[in-house]
A and B are shown apart, each in its own frame.
Chain A
Amino acid sequence: MAGVTRQAAAIGGGTGLAPGRPRRLPAGPFALVVPGLLLLVVFFALPVLALLLRSVTEPEPGFANYAALIGSGTYLKIFFNTFLVSAVVTLVSLAIGFPVAWTLAILPQGVAAPIFGVLILSMWTNLLTRTYAWMVLLQRTGVINKSLIGLGLIDAPLPMVNNLTGVTIGMTYIMLPFVVLPLYGVIRRIDPAILQAAALCGASRFQALRLVLLPLVAPGMAAGALMVFVMSLGYFVTPALLGGTANMMLAELIAQFVQSLVNWGMGGAAALVLLVVTLALYALQLRLFGTAGLGGR
């Protein structure tokens, strides 16, 4: 066969047919995106914009709602509570989450798997169920107060519901998996040989932690921290149930403006504040870590 075809490349004459511009290959067309896009525009983007608009149109055009929001000590205290609780929840989640993720990453698979099971179970359990459980556990006659008294650590029950302590405990419970799972992924991707190399270079365990492991994990920690902080800022259910009416947080305030006070202007204004802070923090996260931190991957 080879002998027959031994010939130079035959050069075809003329320029051949020119089919013009390359045709579009069968690829996912824009049309497929349209149903989802319509749904989100009509039932998400537009209603949210309309709500925000009401903050400057109701009851009359102007920024009176914002002035009222900033001018009142009550509202400022709510803002303060919201940021305080979010910050504490974030710090505690990181302080617990990092060692737990670290441990999970180095434990043998057989031991780590059931711990993951517990993490996933707590994450998938109905939110109200979890919050209810904490209301029961933390109440004056609850298990925790009884145990502490039984152990002789305290004389009288500690107030742990209807205050910010309860909110912080309950929220940390909810946020913890959101720190542990991504951090686990980050630590698993670090080659253990790098830490061995650090030891061979003469680093003590503490130095290796401070100079090698923590810097490698830091971007993941920062991304996780921002996510937890932002989620906490807008949380509604847990603060409403564990914090009681005296310790309101921002999301609750928005709901109250709309549901109890039927004051759409103030509701819109508070929503805008929450929205702006949330989006600003996400923009910061995108700027610092790219899209990788946004739940994907």
Chain B
Amino acid sequence: MLLQFDRLGWWRWVLVGITGLTVVYLLMPILFIAALSFGASQWLIFPPPAWTTRWYGELFADPRWLESAWVSFVIACVVAVLSVVIGLAAAYGLVRGTFRGREALKAFFLTPMILPVVILAVALYALFLRVGLNGTTTGFVIAHLVVALPFAVLTITSALEGFDKAIEDAAILCGASPLEAVVRVTLPGIAHGLFSAAVFSFLASWDEVVLAIFMASPTLQTLPVKIWATLRQDLTPVIAAASTLLIGLTILLMLLVAVIRRGTRS
């Protein structure tokens, strides 16, 4: 009844109405930013008086935009790799280990995810000021790794839990050493989990604003820091251009994930 669309009577039109409005709410900012990035109005007036690619030109003319994007990309890649490697080791230990305090440790690994980032940012800022890591790539990587690691641990843990240990046992009985069994059988078996962990870790780092604001220096800043700093001055359409490119990247990433998911399923 209530869970069968065609048996809901007029209720279904209420539900469809709310959902439709929500879709508009969710899409509106994305669509308007994309449209306004091509608008000629300096003040982002809609509808724009004319269309232009001027803001994209300004974006690419300013080396600081590209530079900060490159910094973001490099940091996010390093973070994704480290996060998956450390996260895989930790998840394997947590899932297959038999030591005491395993549950508590698992909870500890997830805490950076639930704690307000601003607390971590301020705390790390204090530490990095003292040890001279502020404004360094290493500092960025460490800070982003702390927020990315819980995503990797969570994703890989659930992939490992979903992977029957008997398959690993079967590989060992087939003559594979325990390490060989993990490399040849378990890792390919949880490949989708490792891939998701890498994507989530990359995104966690790539999108990270709060930590980055504290870690940044005038000479080293990530793309979110550059956007933040620009935003604080004015709402220039250059940001709309940058945002539109970021949205495009997000869509590409979503498609990539969908394609790979489909590939691993068949």
Touching chains A and B, CB distance < 8 Å: yes
CB neighbours of A274 from chain B (8 A):
116, 118-119
B149 at the interface (CB under 8 A from A): yes
Residues A51 and B1 in contact, CB atoms below 8 Å apart: no
B57 at the interface (CB under 8 A from A): no
Who on chain B is nearest to A212 by CB?
Answer: B2
**Which residues 50-95 of B sit at the A interface, judged by CB distance below 8 A?**
86-87, 89-90, 92-95
Residues B30 and A122 in contact, CB atoms below 8 Å apart: yes
Docked pose: A267 CA to B120 CA in angstroms: 12
Residues B118 and A187 in contact, CB atoms below 8 Å apart: no
Docked pose: A237 CA to B32 CA in angstroms: 21
Partner of B243, one of A106, A132, A230: A132
Given the interface pairs A33-B105, A132-B231, the reply to whether A294 lies near B2 with Cβ below 8 Å is: no
A73 at the interface (CB under 8 A from B): no
Who on chain A is nearest to B179 by CB?
Answer: A26
Docked pose: A28 CA to B106 CA in angstroms: 14
Tell me the minimal C-beta distance from B192 to chain A in angstroms. Answer: 16
Docked pose: A105 CA to B89 CA in angstroms: 37
A72 at the interface (CB under 8 A from B): no
Given the interface pairs A48-B119, A296-B154, the reply to whether A128 lies near B44 with Cβ below 8 Å is: no
Residues B209 and A294 in contact, CB atoms below 8 Å apart: no
Given the interface pairs A51-B123, A128-B227, A132-B243, the reply to whether A33 lies near B46 with Cβ below 8 Å is: no
Who on chain B is nearest to A252 by CB?
Answer: B118
Determine which residue in B153, B210, B224 has the highest number of CB atoms from chain A within 10 A of its CB, and name it: B210
Partner of A30, one of B97, B108, B121: B97
CB neighbours of B166 from chain A (8 A):
none
Query: Count of chain B residues with Cβ under 8 Å from any Cβ of A?
Result: 93
Docked pose: A264 CA to B122 CA in angstroms: 9
Docked pose: A143 CA to B35 CA in angstroms: 12
Question: How large, as a class, is the contact surface on chain A?
Answer: 35 or more
Who on chain A is nearest to B258 by CB?
Answer: A117
Determine which residue in A31, A117, A237 has the highest number of CB atoms from chain B within 10 A of its CB, and name it: A237
**Which residues 1-54 of B sit at the A interface, judged by CB distance below 8 A?**
1-5, 8-9, 11, 14-16, 18-19, 22-23, 25-30, 32-33, 36, 43-46
Q: Mark B200-235, 1 if CB is under 8 A from A, else 0.
A: 000100110110011000000000100110010001
Residues B89 and A35 in contact, CB atoms below 8 Å apart: yes
B98 at the interface (CB under 8 A from A): yes
CB neighbours of B8 from chain A (8 A):
106, 205
Residues B2 and A208 in contact, CB atoms below 8 Å apart: yes
Residues B239 and A132 in contact, CB atoms below 8 Å apart: yes
Given the interface pairs A129-B33, A130-B29, the reply to whether A48 lies near B120 with Cβ below 8 Å is: yes
CB neighbours of A136 from chain B (8 A):
32-33, 36, 44, 235, 240
A234 at the interface (CB under 8 A from B): yes
Who on chain B is nearest to A235 by CB?
Answer: B116
Docked pose: A43 CA to B110 CA in angstroms: 14
Who on chain B is nearest to A274 by CB?
Answer: B116
A36 at the interface (CB under 8 A from B): yes
**Which residues 121-143 of B sit at the A interface, judged by CB distance below 8 A?**
121-127, 142-143
A271 at the interface (CB under 8 A from B): yes
Interface of B is mostly: helix
Residues A115 and B227 in contact, CB atoms below 8 Å apart: no
A78 at the interface (CB under 8 A from B): no
Tell me the minimal C-beta distance from A129 to chain B in angstroms. Answer: 4
Who on chain A is nearest to B227 by CB?
Answer: A128
Who on chain A is nearest to B237 by CB?
Answer: A136
Partner of B124, one of A47, A99, A142: A47
CB neighbours of B4 from chain A (8 A):
106, 192, 195-196
A119 at the interface (CB under 8 A from B): yes
B197 at the interface (CB under 8 A from A): no
Partner of A36, one of B107, B149, B207: B149
A57 at the interface (CB under 8 A from B): no
Residues A230 and B33 in contact, CB atoms below 8 Å apart: no
Partner of B90, one of A35, A129, A296: A35
Given the interface pairs A30-B93, A36-B149, the reply to whether A271 lies near B119 with Cβ below 8 Å is: yes
Query: Apart from A51-B126, A205-B8, A251-B118, what are 14 other A-B pairs with CB-CB below 8 Å?
Result: A51-B119, A96-B22, A100-B18, A107-B5, A125-B247, A127-B207, A127-B209, A128-B227, A129-B243, A132-B231, A137-B32, A146-B46, A195-B4, A258-B122
What are the 10 closest A-B residue pairs judged by CB atoms, nearest first? A234-B116, A133-B29, A28-B96, A32-B93, A36-B90, A47-B123, A33-B93, A192-B3, A129-B243, A251-B118
30 pairs of residues in contact across A and B, judged by CB atoms under 8 Å: A31-B93, A35-B90, A36-B89, A37-B105, A44-B120, A45-B108, A47-B127, A50-B126, A51-B123, A51-B126, A105-B3, A121-B251, A125-B246, A125-B247, A128-B224, A132-B33, A134-B29, A143-B32, A143-B46, A173-B26, A192-B1, A205-B8, A205-B11, A234-B118, A254-B122, A259-B214, A271-B119, A278-B114, A291-B107, A295-B110
